Structure 1
C-alpha cells in the first residue's frame, strides 16, 4: 500500500464525522441518501438472507469513514440493519432486522472495470452527485483493509488484530464466484473472508480455526488476522461483531464440489478422494474434541433435538406440498431416535463444523484435504451454532453433498457413484476416529433426514428447478429402515 493510503487509514480515526458505535446526524443523513439505492441493490446480492420479503427500511448500527470522501475515492464501512416483515413460516428463515456489513466505495464516476460493482448514483446527502459501489471489487479499498490488518489499526469502532506476519503490497482480487459471504485473495498468499450478515458474539468461523491452530491441526488454515467491530448500544450486548478472517490461501487448491463434478463428468471413480476426505474430517473432529469441552447428551437433550427436527419437518411440509406424503415416514426417523433416548442410550456431543459439504473442502495440489468456513448455518443464532453436537451431523451433511453431486454433473443421476463415495467417506472417517458413523444408524438417519428436509425447503424457495434432488433423497429416506 502507498504511504498516502496508509496515512489515510490513520487520518480517518481522527477526522471521521461518522464513527462506529456513536451514530451522528451525518451518519443518519448518509444512510437516508443510500436508502433507495440499497433497497434495489441489497436483495439482489447472493448473500442477502431475506429474499422473497420486501425491505421496509434500514437503520444504521455503525459507520466508519476509512477514506475521506473529499478525495477521488471515498470508502465507508457500514453496519446496516435491514428491516423486513416476518415470514409466514419460520424454520431457517431469518427474522426481520438482519445486520449486514457493507463496504461502500464513493467516486465521481466508475471506470468501466468497476461497472459490475455499481450500487447507484446518489442525488442528495453527503454523497450527492457521486456514484457509490461495492468497494471490494476495487483493489484500492481492498488494500486499505489489508493494511489495517497488517498494522493492527484502530479505526473508529473497528479493531484489526493479527497473530502472524503479513507482507505489504500484496495485490488483491475479489472472488466473484457466488458465495454466502465475500472473499478477497491477496497475492495468492492470503484470503480474507468478510462476513456479510453479522451478529455480536463469538463467531465459530474465528473461534474454531483458532482452537484448531492451537492443537496444531493441519487440516484447517490457521487465522492470520481478523477484524471486529465494537459492541453497540443498539445490539444490547457488550460482545463485539466478528467481521472478517484472514487465512493462508491454499494456492492451486481444488474446491471439493467442483472436483467431484469434474471427476463424475469424466466417469472417474471418486472413492479414494472421498475416503481421504473422511480421514480429514475425523482429524478435525478429533482435534476439536481435544481443544474444546465435550458433553453427554441424555434423554432430555435428545428429546429437545428430536422436537426441533419434528418442528422443522412440520413447517417444511406446510410450505412445500410435495413433502407432505412423506411426512409420516420421515417423522419415524426422529421417533426412532427418541425411543433410543427413552431407553437410556446416550451420545457424546462436541464442537463440529456445523455446515459441512463438498464446497467447504479444498484439496491441495499435493492431494491433502482442508476444511474451511466454520461459520455454521448463518440463519441460525450464534448460540445455537456454538452448541456441542454429535459428529454425525457433519457426516450427514457430507453424505447429502455426495448425493447432490451425483445429480448435478450434467448427465443422468448417478446413485451408484454417490453410494460408493458415501461408503468410502465413512470408511476413511473410521480409520482415524476408530468409529464408523454407520454403526449408529438411527442417529445418522435422523440427521440425514433433517438435512434433506432443510434442502427441500431451501430449493422450493430459492431454486425450484433443484427441488427433485432433495425430494429423491426424501423418498429414499422415507422408504428405508435404519441401516
Structure 2
C-alpha cells in the first residue's frame, strides 16, 4: 500500500478535483474496498491541510499500455499499472448497477451500499449503458451513462463525490427531496451510493459517495443561453421571469420540506462576520477597493440592522451555470452542494434565501463583461432588464412584496462582488472591472 500511496501523492495534485493546490499530499488510507475485475475503491485522507480532507479514489489494475494517458497513476509491477477507474468500463458498469439496481460491498460498518430512488413515470434508466466522463468538472467527477445500443431508458448522469464527508451530501439531500416532492425544476433522481467507514480516530461514520439523476441531452446551461441572447440583442425578459419563478419555487419547496427558524443574534453575527472577513481580504489584495471601504461597511451595517426572514435550506452556490434550459421541464436547477470552499457543516445549515437571489443577479451582471459591445450601453440595458424580470418572477412566486431597495439583498450582492474582486485579481485581472463597477453601483461614493 505504501508504494500506491506514493504514486497517488504524485498523481492526485494534477487532478482538477484535488483541493489543496501547492502542497504535497500526506496520505493515509481510511477505507479500501475490493471490487470485481481488479478494481478497488479507496478513501484516502490527506493531512497536508487542516482539517484533513478525505478523497474518494476508485482505482483499477490493468495491463501496461492499455489505459488512457490521463488515467495512468503508475506501475504496480509485472507489466501492470494502476489507473483511475472512472475511465474503466469494468468499474463504471459496477457503478451503474449500484445506482440503478442497488447492491452492497463490504459490511454495514465498513463498506458501502447503492440504492435506487423513487422515479417518476417514464424516467426508468436503461438496463445497460455506456459511460463517458464529463469534462470540465472542478471538484467532482461526473459520468454520463447513455443507453447501450438497443436498450431503452433515460440517460443518467452520476456525480462521484471526490471529497467525502460524514453525513448526507446536500446535493443528494436537497435534490432527492425536491424530486420526490414532484418538483419539475430539478432532474429526476435515479439512485445514490452511501459508504460507512472508521475514521483514524476510531469513530464509525457514514456519508455520500455518489448521486445519479436524469441527464438532459443536447441542452445548454443558462449562462450560454443568456450570452447568446445578449449578443444577439434578443429580449430575455420572459425567460428571466420564468427563471426567477423557478428559483422562488425551489425556496418555497425547501422551506416546506426542511425545518426553518428565525435568525438570532449569533446567526446575524456569523453572516456579518463572514462579510467583514471577506472585505478585509479584498482590501489587502485589491487596492482599487480602498475608497469604497467605509461605504461598503455602511451597507453591511444597514443590512445587519434590518428585518431578516426566517432561515431555511438554500442552494448556496446559485448562478447561471448551475441552471439548464430544457424543452420538457423549462429551467432546471443543479448542483446543490453549496460553495465547495465552505465547510460542509455550514452548507448543511439553514441560511438566508436571498443569498441565492444575489448570486443570480451577479451572474446576470457578468454577461455585460462577457459579451462584446462597442459602447456597452446595449448590453448593460439587457442586463438590467433581465435582472428586473428575474426579481419580478421571483417575487410573484415567493408571494413576497417586491422591493428593489432590500438592504439584505444589497449586502449579499455586495459581498458577492467583493468575492469576485478577489477572484478576478488572482485569476483574471482583465475582468476586474466587472465587480468593481458593481461595487460602485451598490456602494456609491457621495
Match of 2:12 in 1: 42
- Structure 1 residue corresponding to 2:42, chosen from 74, 78, 89: 78
Say whether the 8 Å CA contact 2:71–2:87 is kept in structure 1: no
- Structure 2 residue corresponding to 1:104, chosen from 47, 59, 63: 59
The reply to whether residue 60 of structure 1 matches residue 29 of structure 2 is yes
Match of 1:337 in 2: 303
| Shift of residue 325, structure 1, vs aligned partner | 3.8
- Structure 1 residue corresponding to 2:128, chosen from 163, 169, 177: 169
Match of 2:223 in 1: 257
SS for the counterpart of 1:438 is coil
Match of 1:26 in 2: none
Match of 1:350 in 2: 312
Q: 1:153 to 1:253 in 2, by over 3 A?
A: same
Q: 1:78 to 1:248 in 2, by over 3 A?
A: same
- Structure 2 residue corresponding to 1:154, chosen from 79, 83, 104: 104
Alpha-carbon deviations, 1:204-242, whole Å to 9, x = none?
111112221332222112322101110323276544121
Say whether the 8 Å CA contact 1:200–1:235 is kept in structure 2: no
- Structure 2 residue corresponding to 1:233, chosen from 190, 199, 206: 199
SS for the counterpart of 2:44 is strand
SS for the counterpart of 2:168 is coil
Aligned pairs for 1:198-237 within 5 A: 198-234=164-200, 237=203
Say whether the 8 Å CA contact 2:369–2:431 is kept in structure 1: no
Question: Which whole-Å CA distance do the structure 2 matches of 1:303 and 1:445 have between them?
Answer: 17
Tell me how many residue pairs correspond in the alignment.
Answer: 427
Question: Which whole-Å CA distance do the structure 1 matches of 2:430 and 2:4 have between them?
Answer: 34
Question: Which whole-Å CA distance do the structure 1 matches of 2:133 and 2:209 have between them?
Answer: 17
Unaligned stretches of 5+ in structure 1?
1-28, 69-73, 86-94
- Structure 1 residue corresponding to 2:3, chosen from 24, 33, 38: 33
Q: 1:334 to 1:278 in 2, by over 3 A?
A: same
Worse-matched range after superposition: 207-216 or 356-365? 207-216
- Structure 2 residue corresponding to 1:431, chosen from 396, 399, 412: 396
| Shift of residue 180, structure 1, vs aligned partner | 2.8
Say whether the 8 Å CA contact 2:62–2:82 is kept in structure 1: yes
Unaligned stretches of 5+ in structure 2?
119-123, 147-153
| Shift of residue 96, structure 1, vs aligned partner | 5.1
SS for the counterpart of 1:407 is helix
Question: Which whole-Å CA distance do the structure 1 matches of 2:64 and 2:290 have between them?
Answer: 53
The reply to whether residue 479 of structure 1 matches residue 409 of structure 2 is no
SS for the counterpart of 2:197 is coil
TM-score (norm 2): 0.88
Q: 1:34 to 1:467 in 2, by over 3 A?
A: farther
